[in-house]
Amino acid sequence: MSSSGLDTTGFKIRKPKLGIIGGSGMCSFREFKVVSETRPETKYGLPSDTISICELGNELMAFIPRHGSRHTIAPHKVPYKANLAALKNLGVEYVIGTCIVGSLKKEVVPGSIVLPDQFVNLTWGRDDFSEADGGSFIHLPMGEPYCRHLREKIIGIAGEISLPVISQATVAVIQGPRFSTVAESRWLSANGWDIVNMTQYPECCLARELGLCYSAITAVTDYDVGLQESLVIDPRHMDAVLEIFKGNIQKIKSLLLAFISKSVPELSCGCASAVLKSYYDELL
């Protein structure tokens, strides 16, 4: 392929504009037509699993399961850099990460779809250090970590399909893979944070570092353990939680299918690239 994006015969090569990182329960997306598969080696190693180049209508997208196709990679072991670098190398400009989350507020009820606009990182030892690449580090601006343009497009589509969403929330990212103790959960809630998750860091900020516009679609399966005694991750309540979990996956898929059909051609942001350009301009 030439630098112009043409193949050797002169035809324009189609590239996926959108990448989808599937979280727990989204290890596959059978509603897409898979046109090719690849698992490219990046300078950060191999991504979590094979990346499927999929087609829906006239749109191409790239799909990768964050935890692997058999859900075997723990949150702190996910090769976040390799996943995002592989998507970027395929031509992806926008990334949507799907996640399962717990609620830290009673009004954020299980079954809710939430689009976070802020995160708090409580993890450690993850592959988020640029020094490991042998390159220079950057003081990455992170005041608005999620792409506003992409979030607004998703919120608009949710309205069109009559799917209620919570459009602003702070996600507390814990190390995992264990869940919180009651004391930890109450502390998270007391800080005023809305939902708890294990994978939004460093995925969100690494996307920004690579110049990729990123948004998350999260689904609430349960109340975190410090909020109440029912609808929490506990053997006594797992049947009810799993029913909510299954319903949430269908909601996320419906939202993504509608979004791809209607909004992908209209995406025109580049906020992440603009942040990087502004940063490097300041250094010169």
Give me the active site residues, please: 222, 224
User: CA triplet 96, 269, 272: central angle to 5 degrees?
Assistant: 70
Q: Are 115 and 169 in contact (CB under 8 A)?
A: yes
**DSSP conformation letters of 198-256:** SSHHHHHHHHHHTT-EEEEEEEEEEE-TTT-SSSSSSGGGHHHHHHHHHHHHHHHHHHH
CA 103-180-120 angle, 5° bins: 65
Token readout for 235 is: 């053997």
The helix/strand/coil state of 197 is strand
User: Residue 37: in which H helix or E strand, if any?
Assistant: strand 33-38
